[in-house]
Amino acid sequence: MTNQIHVTAENIQQVLGQTSEESIVALSFYSAQSPECMEQARILDGLAQQYAQNLVVATLDCDQQQALASQLAQQIGLQALPTLVLLKGGAPVDMLPGPQSEQQIKEALQKHLPQPQDALLQQAKEALSADNLNDAFKYAKQAYEIDANNSRIKLVLADICIQIHRLDDARSLLDTIALADQDAYFNNIKAKLDQAEQAQDSPEIQALQQAVEQDPANLDTKVNLAVAFNDAGRKEEALETLFSVLIKDLNFGEAKKNYLDIIASLPEGDALAATYRRKLYSILY
């Protein structure tokens, strides 16, 4: 479906109904007798292609649709041609009377169109709903890099960090949330983080650590400790413990498989994955 429409009395309601929180209708009051209108129509044609996903350019030819143009002109206080009215969510949000440059129109659109970080945050939420934690982290991290002061982005990223056991990162993010933004979602994430941090030093881990201290040569106990570390999100300690097993016996039980599985579970581009992949290569070759 084209995102450039000629407005008539028959389709005006349908055109206005196309606005949403993610899209804008640019209602252009136009006359072919005006050189300024012709030039602005050319600019709008280019912008319609550039913002194809979020912009509908609706042109009202005031010469051919005189009755409709007169009615709308009275409602909005039209005083010049061309005039551009931006509508979002079914309501006018901006009006640009008179001829406008491409840059002026772009600046007006960018106030109301979704920002890149908003699109990335939405992708992160969708990936999180699909239990795709790697992509969820990637998109949320990109959104955070664009707008590091956005509390909603920080909360979503912290939520994801908890689920991929990056608890220090989650705590750092929560510590920067202003008091005014500490809503129910914040409290929910904080409770999840508190619970995850408590689980990091469970009685099982403490018992296994003690057993390893008493018998450092017992590789089975070390593997069990590494598994417990990983389950608690202590991935670096899990990898280091498994590496100490692989140095002694490269083919011991499930040690190598567990080691590679932990690396694969880390987000794409994670420095920890690169470090421990190199350490494994150093004893393989």
- pLDDT higher than threshold 80 for residue 112: yes
Is 16 in contact with 10 (CB distance < 8 Å)? Answer: no
Question: Which residues sit opposite 92 in a β-bridge?
Answer: 87
Of 62, 65, 77, give the one whose Cα is nearest residue 32. 62
Of 107, 163, 160, give the one whose Cα is nearest residue 137. 160
Residue 5 and residue 15: Cα distance in Å, rounded? 8
Encoded tokens for 239: 């990898």
- pLDDT higher than threshold 80 for residue 1: no
What is the torsion angle, in degrees rounded to the nearest 10, for the CA atoms of residue 38, residue 42, residue 43 and residue 47?
140
Say if residue 208 is exposed, middle or buried (CB neighbours under 10 Å; 0-12, 13-18, 19+).
buried
Encoded tokens for 9: 């009395």
Neighbours of 29 (CB within 10 A): 24
Encoded tokens for 31: 């006359």
Indicate the fold that domain 116-199 takes in CATH. Answer: 1.25.40
Select the highest-mean-pLDDT range: 76-80, 101-105, 119-123. 101-105
Instruction: Give residue 139's pLDDT.
Output: 94
Confidence of residue 19 (pLDDT cuts 50, 70, 90): low
Question: What is the DSSP code (8-state) at residue 146?
Answer: H
| Overall CATH class of domain 203-284 | mainly alpha
Instruction: Give residue 5's pLDDT.
Output: 92
Domain 4-110 CATH assignment equals 3.40.30.10: yes
Check if 4-110 and 116-199 are the same fold: no
Residue range 3-26: mean pLDDT, rounded: 83
Residue 115 and residue 108: Cα distance in Å, rounded? 13
The pLDDT tens digits for 147-195 are: 999 999 999 999 999 988 889 899 999 999 999 999 999 999 999 999 8
- Percent of the chain topping pLDDT 70: 98
Instruction: Give residue 191's pLDDT.
Output: 94
Confidence of residue 20 (pLDDT cuts 50, 70, 90): low
Mean pLDDT of the chain: 91
Encoded tokens for 6: 């000629």
Instruction: Give residue 84's pLDDT.
Output: 96
Instruction: Give residue 284's pLDDT.
Output: 83
Encoded tokens for 53: 């996903």
**Full-prediction pTM beyond 0.75?**
no
The pLDDT tens digits for 118-142 are: 889 989 999 998 989 989 999 999 9
- Percent of the chain topping pLDDT 90: 70
Contacts of residue 84, Cβ cutoff 8 Å, sequence gap at least 6: 26, 27, 28, 29, 40, 44, 95, 96, 100, 105, 108
SS3 of 113, please?
Answer: coil
Of 70, 81, 77, give the one whose Cα is nearest residue 92. 77
Question: How do the domains of the chain map onto residue ranges?
Answer: 4-110, 116-199, 203-284
- pLDDT higher than threshold 90 for residue 26: yes
Residue 102 and residue 113: Cα distance in Å, rounded? 16
Confidence of residue 2 (pLDDT cuts 50, 70, 90): confident
Q: What are the strands of the beta sheet with 83-88, ordered from one edge?
A: 4-6, 55-61, 24-30, 83-88, 91-97
SS3 of 75, please?
Answer: helix
Question: Which residues sit opposite 97 in a β-bridge?
Answer: 83
Encoded tokens for 273: 């994955």
SS3 of 96, please?
Answer: strand
Residue range 246-266: mean pLDDT, rounded: 93
18-22, 81-85, 102-106, 202-206: least confident range: 18-22
Instruction: Give residue 186's pLDDT.
Output: 95
Encoded tokens for 128: 């999180």
